[in-house]
A = this chain, B = another copy of it.
């Protein structure tokens, strides 16, 4: 598979994605607590994005349903440590597709089926970064998202 192939659109062994993410989390010595684990599991179900409240509504542990801060804390943690990404356009979250090798990611978002394909790519448009550098701007984070209709949905699937 090519480096920047968007996994989400390809047939693949998705359980591998989950394995990789978990392994990666452990290797980093992160504290994957109960809620973080559960949230990550939900996100790792597939390559769709989930809103915080969709996650919250499905979160549950021994019959206990947590409050919003619990979901947001877990999400913040996962995003901060590169196990998940926030999709700004959707106010939603996806599991990182390549937590072992994620430097800078862009996202291809299908409006129809909500698949979010992660693409490892250089941060932002080169022009944008060049201009930022020119004016002495200290870039900390970048958002790269393309929204449209995926090939499957164009064909009415």
Contacts and interface: CB of A to CB of B under 8 A. Distances in A.
Given A4-B131, A142-B147, A144-B144, A106 B121 contact: no
Task: Describe A's contact surface by its main secondary structure.
Answer: mixed
Identical copies of this chain, number = 2
A25 B135 CA distance: 30
A115 to B, nearest CB: 10
A123 B125 contact: yes
A13 interface: no
Contact of A144 (B4, B128, B148): B128
A102 interface: no
Interface residues of A, number: 41
A44 B84 CA distance: 36
A143 B119 CA distance: 14
A124 B146 contact: yes
A145 interface: yes
B140 A148 contact: yes
Which of A88, A137, A139 has most B Cβ within 10 Å? A137
Given A137-B150, A150-B137, A143 B4 contact: no
A143 B151 CA distance: 20
Which of A108, A110, A126 has most B Cβ within 10 Å? A108
Interface of A: 4-6, 9, 88-89, 106, 108, 110-111, 117, 119, 121-129, 131-132, 135-151, 154
